[in-house]
Amino acid sequence: MPTPDAMVPSFETLYAELRRMARRELYKGGSAAQISPTTLLHEAYLQMSARPGLQFADRAHFMAYAARAMRGIAIDHARARGAQKRGGGLDITALDTFVSDNAMAPADAAAEGLEQVG
């Protein structure tokens, strides 16, 4: 009969399996070129480790939770990239109220306003 330690997978085996899972999640979502499987795996690990008291009944539950975390991160990354393509990084600025209030005013009213400024 195997000892309990023999039934627990080694870190290397688990890491390799999680990395394959990350690659699979990326290719399923179509964002394989945007983020690497290693980066996705590490981000999922950081997200999971930030939750205190997170426990799993068995290995299958852990793997399912890890897959869900990776899927969420891949989706968030794809959304952020799509928003960036649509101008997500642009800053919207408002015109100064003097300029916007007097933009359509007659020329002498605008000149009078400029004299007050100077």
pLDDT tens digits along 81-105: 776 666 665 666 665 666 666 666 5
Has residue 114 been placed in a domain?
A: no
Record the pTM. 0.59
CA-only gyration radius of the chain, Å: 27
Confirm whether 37 is domain-assigned. Answer: yes
Give the tens place of pLDDT for each residue, 43-68. 998 998 888 888 888 888 989 999 99
Give the total number of structural domains in the chain: 1
Residue ranges making up the domain that contains 42? 4-89
On whether residue 95 sits in a domain, the answer given is no
> Would residue 99 count as lying in a domain?
no
On whether residue 116 sits in a domain, the answer given is no
Query: Does any domain span residue 94?
Result: no
Computed over every residue of the chain, the mean pLDDT equals: 75
Rounded Cα–Cα distance for residues 46 and 81 (Å): 21
- Domain membership of residue 53 (yes or no) is yes
Cβ–Cβ contacts within 10 Å for residue 48, how many?
14
